[in-house]
Amino acid sequence: MIFMLCLVCVMLVPLAPAGLSLVHQGLGRSRSSAHAMLSTLCVLAVTAIAFVLFGFSWAGVPGGAAHTLLVHGARWNWIGAEAFFAHGLRFDGSNGSLVLCLQMFTVGLAAIIPVSAGMDRWRLAPICASSLFLAAIAYPLFAHWVWGGGWLGQLGANFGIGAGFVDCGGSSVIHVVGGLAALSVAWILGPRDGKYTDDGTPTAIPGHNIVLVMAGCLLALVGWMGLNCAGSLLFYNLEPAQLVRVLINTMLSASGACLVAVAITQLRYGKPDASISANGWVGGLVAGSAGCAFVSPFAALLTGLVAGTLVTYLVEIFEMRLYVDDPGGAISVHAGAGIWGLLAVGIMGHIGAATHAGQLLAQVIGVTTLLGCMLPLVHGGNVLLSRVMRYRVDASGDWQGMDVRELGAGAYPEFVVHSDEFVPR
Amino acid sequence: MVSAGGQNQFSKTEEFSIDLGNLLAWISGRLREGDSLRMLGCLLLLSGWIIVLAALVLLSSYGERVAFVAAGAAVEVLGLALLILRYREPKESNI
């Protein structure tokens, strides 16, 4: 029964990258939308192949083969040691086969996050190369530490720190890792042409299809529910009856974040901002994932409210203060809200006999690992790749659009903008 | 580049010193471009993480661990701030 339940949950997970890709595509320019969608498909394909062939070996499964170090009497589990090419994995309902299936989709979800930050200027070949690096090296390493029986997940057992680092739905493994990769890509690519004026004032480049963005949010909700349930069942041995709490918490977190984003933009700009509210929704899903099985519904709502507020202001700080051009708001939504969600587990979570102080310390150690190890690793990898292959499209490609430049045809060939449509009547 | 042995060096040593000079010129070029500060930012991030790991291995009491983890996090914040500033600056000058 649990196998079937897990399988159904895993089968819902691809809706999360589907929804996110619509969000990203809708928030970009129309002249790069086909390129954005093709990039997403290529990323999902590259990461699935790379993860099954290599990544899964290092990501490992809880209780599976791993390379360990014995330091001061404590066993440090650093990296998985499963066979390459999923060799020897039994496809008979084993936990390992379900973990492989789930992570084949989640690694793609992590890798499409940087595509959003590099939209309208990141070429297809480096997108695939960067995704390959993420899926084969960076993601499996951190996934093993948290979900594969690695040292972060074992902080409680080995060092008596809370119940170890906890992340049910992948706030850290998927979203913060992806969000940090997005930050690295945005740094390397620089802003789009015309994004900033000569005096440094940012220009608004609105998304071309906000309806697709909203539809993407709804699709993502279904995918997230599957992801949170599958993660809780597979990595934290949650009882099936407890899944109701996971579903309620997921919805409440997204709801709180979206509504607070609507309220803040209404107060600040006089009208609700649809794109920021959509980002708030996704930010709530991201933040709520970490502790969806271990917090009360009220705590999930609170997590969402803070995440929505954080996303609303972070988007503005990155764009206006730090000159980071992130068309889809991926850094704020995935890295910013993700880190908050991880800390919220320590503040509001109830995990076995772990104290709040101990659990918060475990979560902080996880966050410092993300910033201190994963960010240099991902950024170093992207910088090296950018020296080997040109990341950014040339100047003419910027105004021509990625569709025509890289694919040879636009996404909307019959879509003509008439200048008189913008004349006030 | 002046070799350590002064002018009475064999030609082989001079060749070596010239090569070393080229290497130093290349490195100083990198330093001028601001890559060094970005690298320093990444190294600070890494150092902060190592402090956190050291706290786990070397210390046992909760209070000491909290202090070391906070120190490691502070070093990481410094590194992140340095990275953000270095990536922010060229954008300002280019725009």
pLDDT in tens, B80-89: 999 998 888 5
How confident is the model over A119-174, as pLDDT tens digits? 999 999 999 999 999 999 999 999 999 999 999 999 998 899 999 999 999 999 99
Position B52 pLDDT exceeds 80 = yes
- Non-local CB neighbours of A280 within 8 Å, separated by 6+ positions: A257, A258, A260, A261, A262, A307, A308, A311, A312
Position A305 pLDDT exceeds 90 = yes
Partner-chain residue, chosen from B72, B84, B95, that has the shortest CB–CB distance to A200: B95
Burial class of residue A64 in the structure, from the number of CB atoms within 10 Å of its CB (0-12 exposed, 13-18 middle, 19+ buried): middle
How confident is the model over A222-265, as pLDDT tens digits? 999 999 999 999 999 999 999 999 999 999 999 999 999 999 99
The H or E element that residue A260 is part of is helix A243-269
CA distance B21 to chain A (A): 24
Share of chain A above pLDDT 90, in %: 76
How confident is the model over A181-231, as pLDDT tens digits? 999 999 999 998 888 888 888 888 888 899 999 999 999 999 999 999 999
Q: Identify all chain B residues contacting A324, using CB atoms and an 8 Å cutoff.
A: 87
Q: Identify all chain A residues contacting B58, using CB atoms and an 8 Å cutoff.
A: 72
Is the alpha carbon torsion for A22, A26, A30, A35 positive or negative?
negative
Task: Tell me chain B's radius of gyration from C-alpha atoms.
Answer: 21
- Non-local CB neighbours of A382 within 8 Å, separated by 6+ positions: A130, A133, A181, A184, A185, A188, A391
Provide the greatest CA pair distance for chain B: 63
Partner-chain residue, chosen from A71, A358, A375, that has the shortest CB–CB distance to B57: A71
What pLDDT is recorded for position B94? 37
At residue A392, the 3 state secondary structure works out as strand
Position B15 pLDDT exceeds 60 = no
What is the C-alpha separation between B14 and B10, in angstroms, rounded? 7
What pLDDT is recorded for position B89? 57
**SS3 readout for A192-223:** CCCCECCCCCECCCCCCCHHHHHHHHHHHHHH
Position B6 pLDDT exceeds 50 = no
Is the alpha carbon torsion for A206, A210, A216, A217 positive or negative?
positive
Tokens encoding A326: 């992130």
Lowest mean per-residue pLDDT among A1-5, A261-265, A275-279:
A1-5
Q: CB neighbours (10 Å) of residue B60?
A: 11
What pLDDT is recorded for position A140? 96
Tokens encoding B73: 């996090």
For residues B48-68, give the mean pLDDT. 93
- A203 at the B interface (CB within 8 A)? no
Rounded to 5°, angle at Cα A332 from A177 and A402:
85
What are φ and ψ of residue A61, in 5° steps? -130, 155
pLDDT range class, residue A317, cuts 50, 70, 90: very high
Position B92 pLDDT exceeds 80 = no
What pLDDT is recorded for position B28? 63
What pLDDT is recorded for position B14? 42
- Cβ pair A64, A149 in contact under 8 A: yes
Q: What is the mean pLDDT of chain B?
A: 74
For residues A294-316, give the mean pLDDT. 96
Select the residue from B82, B84, B94 to test the A interface by mutation, using most A Cβ atoms within 10 A.
Answer: B84
CA closest to B56 among chain A residues: A159
What pLDDT is recorded for position A425? 46
Single pTM value for the model: 0.90
User: Of chain B residues 25-84, which have a CB less than 8 A from chain A?
Assistant: 42-43, 45-50, 52, 56-58, 62, 65-66, 69, 72-73, 76, 79-80, 83-84
What pLDDT is recorded for position B7? 42
The H or E element that residue A22 is part of is helix A15-27
Burial class of residue A205 in the structure, from the number of CB atoms within 10 Å of its CB (0-12 exposed, 13-18 middle, 19+ buried): middle
Side-chain half-sphere exposure of A283, counting CA atoms within 13 A: 37
Tokens encoding A343: 């800390």
CA closest to A161 among chain B residues: B62
Tokens encoding A412: 């909307």
Position A86 pLDDT exceeds 70 = yes
What pLDDT is recorded for position B27? 57
Position A108 pLDDT exceeds 80 = yes
For residues A361-388, give the mean pLDDT. 95
Position B1 pLDDT exceeds 90 = no
pLDDT range class, residue B33, cuts 50, 70, 90: low
Q: What is the mean pLDDT of chain A?
A: 92
Concatenated DSSP letters of A74-128 = EEEEEEE-PPGGGTT---SS-HHHHHHHHHHHHHHHHHHHHHHHTTTTB-HHHHH
Position A374 pLDDT exceeds 90 = yes
- B89 at the A interface (CB within 8 A)? no
Tokens encoding A114: 């940087």
What is the C-alpha separation between A139 and A131, in angstroms, rounded? 10
Question: At what angle are helices A297-316 and A243-269 packed, to 10 degrees?
Answer: 40
Tokens encoding A141: 């390493």
Q: Check CB contact under 8 Å for B95 and A197.
A: yes
For residues A378-385, give the mean pLDDT. 94
What is the C-alpha separation between A14 and A109, in angstroms, rounded? 8
Position A270 pLDDT exceeds 90 = yes
Sort residue A164 into left (φ over 0), alpha (ψ -120 to 50) or beta: left
Partner-chain residue, chosen from A161, A322, A372, that has the shortest CB–CB distance to B84: A322
